[in-house]
Amino acid sequence: MQKKYLFAPGPVSIAPGTLLAMAQPIIHHRAPQFAAILREVEEGLKYLFQTKNDVLILASSGTGAMEGTVTNTLSKGDKALVVRGGKFGERWTEICEAYGVTAVNIDVKWGEAVNPALIRSALEADRSIKAVFIQAHETSTGVKHPIKEVGEIVKAYPDTILVVDAISALGVFDIPVDEWGLDIVVAGSQKAFCLPPGLAFASISPKAWQRVEKSNLPKYYFNFLKERKSLKKDQTAYTPAVSLIVGLREVLAGIKEEGLEKLFAHHRLLAEAARKAVTAMGLKLYTAVPSEAVTVIQAPEDVDGQKVVKLLREKYGITIAGGQGKAKGKIFRISHMGYTDRFELILVLSAVEIVLKELGYHLELGSGVKAAEEYLFQHRDVA
Amino acid sequence: MQKKYLFAPGPVSIAPGTLLAMAQPIIHHRAPQFAAILREVEEGLKYLFQTKNDVLILASSGTGAMEGTVTNTLSKGDKALVVRGGKFGERWTEICEAYGVTAVNIDVKWGEAVNPALIRSALEADRSIKAVFIQAHETSTGVKHPIKEVGEIVKAYPDTILVVDAISALGVFDIPVDEWGLDIVVAGSQKAFCLPPGLAFASISPKAWQRVEKSNLPKYYFNFLKERKSLKKDQTAYTPAVSLIVGLREVLAGIKEEGLEKLFAHHRLLAEAARKAVTAMGLKLYTAVPSEAVTVIQAPEDVDGQKVVKLLREKYGITIAGGQGKAKGKIFRISHMGYTDRFELILVLSAVEIVLKELGYHLELGSGVKAAEEYLFQHRDVA
């Protein structure tokens, strides 16, 4: 009978209206009814991505779209620059290596953002680099990389494209794809989209399409040219995840109605209130460049971050995320994405306080919540 | 996109498992499949009511069962004693009067519990009183009446039955129907049952059945003898609310699995934490004999209780209850019933703090939440 709460950076909690839409009887993906839905969805995606580019819709999780961007834009022996400052930066390198692409890694200390000057000098040093791979938000560390600045740098290289993993960023904070000149932007359904996992997206600029047309890496399921051709007929190349796309239509209609600025303000409100709480609890943020998607908290000395996660989940039914890779045990992460609100933030902060105290950390119960409440009171007119 | 929360004393929030059970394709109520469900439900109800008595299942809200107890146990011109200390006490009087039963009212000041000695003296003064009507918990004031003591008194009168409206009490706190000798106990699905409204229940003791057999008040839909006859065949007299009964089976199975003591401890935990918070906020409880179902809070001077309710609902999507009748504007009520938990209590307390401050009440934000958290921490091993 325990109530469950989900504050992980994906999957996230889903609005009842979306769940009900997805629970409708399934429809066939080659029928005109589905084509109309896909047309509507494509429009909605362009609004959310702030782009005129094609936005491909793939039946996979985000990693599928990441793999697709490598295999569809590069050729055997190509070199790619990878910003590697967390688990998802590492993933770009792994994918490149799996396909024989040479990854030139810019290793960034976990918890820090990349210095854009390093990207400029790497591109200057090696004109044969065909693509730059980066995260808009590195989910494993909570870091926001300076995508706008990176976009300005890469723009100057006509043979190099910028590929941004915005899986836990798009819809959370402002990423104007066309304005910033981002060639490929990858997103996934299980983050700010407030959908279950199973859909990935990739917006492709004209500059990126030129690369795609020349790419000779092996690929079959993730075939961007085939997808573009199908999209022109309001279809997908292979069987789409029909019910997720039906849910997506609901979500995108809601986003359009509320407007992007409101969506971003919502995440800012939660993230800023969470940060105030963290400081008031005597804890430290893991990064000085935090995103609005996830608040990453350093576990106090003598407290294993994984135990915070475990106690919250097992005893109280509350799921947050622990650390990954080298941050395992050292941090815990609270997501602000999904169908959640300011008072659920209070709920999870309160639970974190109690659990930290149960694990022996000395804090004044209510101190973090009080700070968050004060921030929320000051910003009570942010809808 | 606003998230909604329900902390009203009915309807209450419902567990996903129950919602899904009720969303299954409807079945026919005269089929063996339904009879089996009804048998299981009847067993579960007896466990919850702690009784060997028949428990009738009616397709109505609680008031229907209240009316049924009057029309099925009394006859024209009978006298009934009514404990009237709130809106639902008044309802007993109104039903009696609608059917020509003379209500002898014991008027209790709103916010106070009845003194059982008054019942004894009333029954002594007038031996022709056929029934005593009372609330186990008067939802409009949050008062718990001393049902055990009243049971002991009424037991001594062989021609008088005790009828307890336990609509917002059964499943919340301990009401051992047989042990306390309660002749009729009425309950409703939309409170601690964690179901939508639409089902009412009445347990009928052998002593009460004797009255039923003699009753001559007009009745048709609420016909207890007909219901008893149908129940022996695992049916109901008229078409039952099939999907609610399917949901009820889920709920009762869960209650059986957890055990009554755990259910009562859960409500005690929430109610006690809420009371600590109220005091810490500088506010007052409306009653000195509070129930575990609802915490009733006096609105601070210069704050209209109705405005607290309105601002919570309209601005923040959180539903609590205001005052009814003569308590309107003076109080607001937070329910602990339904599919909710300790951290949702924190959530609603935090929202109440912010809203009270928005309405001009001077309080230190977080003060109530802190007190509740401290109580929850001390009682962290209450599951």
Chain segment A138-184, per-residue pLDDT in tens: 999 999 999 999 999 999 999 999 999 999 999 999 999 999 999 99
Cβ contact B130:B80 at 8 Å: yes
Residue B140 sits in the same domain as residue B114: yes
Q: What CATH number did the domain enclosing A239 receive? A: 3.40.640.10
Residue B84 sits in the same domain as residue B180: yes
Q: Give the residue from B13, B258, B343 with the most A CB atoms within 10 Å of its CB, the best one to mutate.
A: B343
For chain A, list the strands marked E by DSSP: 5-6, 54-58, 79-84, 102-107, 129-135, 137-138, 143-144, 161-165, 184-188, 200-204, 294-298, 318-319, 321-322, 331-335
pLDDT for the residue A58: 98
Residue B45 sits in the same domain as residue B137: yes
Residue B284 sits in the same domain as residue B226: no
Distance of residue B374 Cα from the nearest chain A Cα, in angstroms: 6
For the cut 80, the answer to whether the pLDDT of residue B288 exceeds it is yes
Nearest to B343 among A1, A351, A365 (CB): A351
For the cut 90, the answer to whether the pLDDT of residue B243 exceeds it is yes
Nearest to B343 among A342, A347, A357 (CB): A347
**Last residue of some domain: A225, A258, A291?**
A258
Contact check, Cβ <8 Å, A347/B346:
yes
pLDDT for the residue A110: 98
Residue B132 sits in the same domain as residue B181: yes
pLDDT for the residue A169: 98
Distance of residue B165 Cα from the nearest chain A Cα, in angstroms: 26
Distance of residue B214 Cα from the nearest chain A Cα, in angstroms: 43
Average pLDDT (B225-253) is 97
Contact check, Cβ <8 Å, A373/B365:
yes
* Residue range(s) defining the domain that contains residue B329: 259-378
Nearest to B341 among A3, A348, A364 (CB): A3
In a domain, A3, yes or no: no
Counting residues of chain B whose pLDDT is more than 90, the rounded percentage is 99
Nearest to A369 among B1, B318, B369 (CB): B369
Contact check, Cβ <8 Å, A343/B347:
yes
Q: Give A254's contacts in chain B (Cβ within 8 Å).
A: 1
Cβ contact B379:B270 at 8 Å: no
Per-residue pLDDT tens over the stretch B292-321: 999 999 999 999 999 999 999 999 999 999
In a domain, A157, yes or no: yes
Q: Which residues of B touch A (CB under 8 A)?
A: 1-3, 5, 15, 254, 258, 315-318, 339-344, 346-348, 350-351, 353-354, 357-358, 364-367, 369-371, 373-374, 376-377, 380
| Inter-CA distances, A209 with A63, B94, B144, Å | 20, 77, 72
Distance separating alpha carbons of residues B270 and A142, to the nearest angstrom: 35
Distance of residue B259 Cα from the nearest chain A Cα, in angstroms: 12
CB under 8 Å to B261, separation ≥6 — which residues?
none
Tokens in use for B75? 């006859």
Average pLDDT (B126-151) is 98
**Residue contacts between A and B (CB atoms, under 8 Å):** 105
- Regions of chain A where pLDDT drops below 50: none
User: Which residue is closest to B258 within chain A, CA to CA?
Assistant: A1
In a domain, B265, yes or no: yes
Average pLDDT (B68-95) is 98
Map tokens 């359009």 to a residue. Answer: A256
Q: What angle do CA B120, B125, B131 make, to 5 degrees?
A: 60
In a domain, A6, yes or no: no
Distance separating alpha carbons of residues B117 and A333, to the nearest angstrom: 59
Residue A202 sits in the same domain as residue A271: no
Sign of CA dihedral A120, A122, A125, A128: negative
In a domain, B214, yes or no: yes
**Last residue of some domain: A239, A258, A277?**
A258
Contact check, Cβ <8 Å, B366/A365:
no
Distance separating alpha carbons of residues B170 and A53, to the nearest angstrom: 60
User: Which residue is closest to B355 within chain A, CA to CA?
Assistant: A377
Distance separating alpha carbons of residues A3 and B345, to the nearest angstrom: 12
Contact check, Cβ <8 Å, B343/A1:
no
Tokens in use for B34? 């339904």
Q: Which residues of A touch B (CB under 8 A)?
A: 1-3, 5, 15, 254, 258, 315-318, 339-344, 346-348, 350-351, 353-354, 357-358, 364-367, 369-371, 373-374, 376-377, 380
Nearest to B365 among A2, A340, A370 (CB): A370
Q: Give B380's contacts in chain A (Cβ within 8 Å).
A: 315, 354, 358
Report the b/e string of A23-60 with b at 16+ CB within 10 A: eeeeeebeeeebeebbebbbebbbebbbbebbbbbbbb
Residue A225 sits in the same domain as residue A341: no
Terminal CA-CA length for chain A: 32
For residue A121, give the nearest of A151, A153, A83 by alpha carbon: A153
Residue A62 sits in the same domain as residue A195: yes
Q: Give B24's contacts in chain A (Cβ within 8 Å).
A: none
Residue A36 sits in the same domain as residue A69: yes
User: Which residue is closest to A13 within chain B, CA to CA?
Assistant: B3
In a domain, B4, yes or no: no
Distance separating alpha carbons of residues A354 and B381, to the nearest angstrom: 12
Distance separating alpha carbons of residues A132 and A160, to the nearest angstrom: 7
Residue A247 sits in the same domain as residue A309: no
For the cut 80, the answer to whether the pLDDT of residue B383 exceeds it is no
DSSP designation for A121:
H
Residue A102 sits in the same domain as residue A143: yes
For residue B133, give the nearest of B141, B108, B111 by alpha carbon: B108
Contact check, Cβ <8 Å, A350/B344:
no
Distance separating alpha carbons of residues B225 and A110, to the nearest angstrom: 74
Confidence class for position B1, pLDDT limits 50, 70, 90:
confident
Residue B265 sits in the same domain as residue B199: no
Q: Give B318's contacts in chain A (Cβ within 8 Å).
A: 343
Distance of residue A383 Cα from the nearest chain B Cα, in angstroms: 8
In a domain, B7, yes or no: no
**Last residue of some domain: B258, B285, B311?**
B258
Contact check, Cβ <8 Å, A373/B366:
yes
User: Which residue is closest to A17 within chain B, CA to CA?
Assistant: B1
Contact check, Cβ <8 Å, B343/A316:
yes
For the cut 90, the answer to whether the pLDDT of residue B371 exceeds it is yes
- DSSP reduced 3-state for A166: coil
Tokens in use for A61? 């999780």
Q: Give B260's contacts in chain A (Cβ within 8 Å).
A: none
Contact check, Cβ <8 Å, A354/B365:
no
Domain count of the fold of chain B:
2
Q: What CATH number did the domain enclosing B315 receive? A: 3.90.1150.10
Contact check, Cβ <8 Å, A370/B369:
yes
Tokens in use for A80? 């790619």
Q: Give B252's contacts in chain A (Cβ within 8 Å).
A: none
- DSSP reduced 3-state for B276: helix
Contact check, Cβ <8 Å, B358/A346:
no
Distance separating alpha carbons of residues B289 and B145, to the nearest angstrom: 8
DSSP designation for A183:
S
In a domain, B280, yes or no: yes
User: Which residue is closest to B194 within chain A, CA to CA?
Assistant: A1
Distance separating alpha carbons of residues A284 and B12, to the nearest angstrom: 39
Confidence class for position B270, pLDDT limits 50, 70, 90:
very high
pLDDT for the residue A65: 98
Contact check, Cβ <8 Å, A5/B369:
no
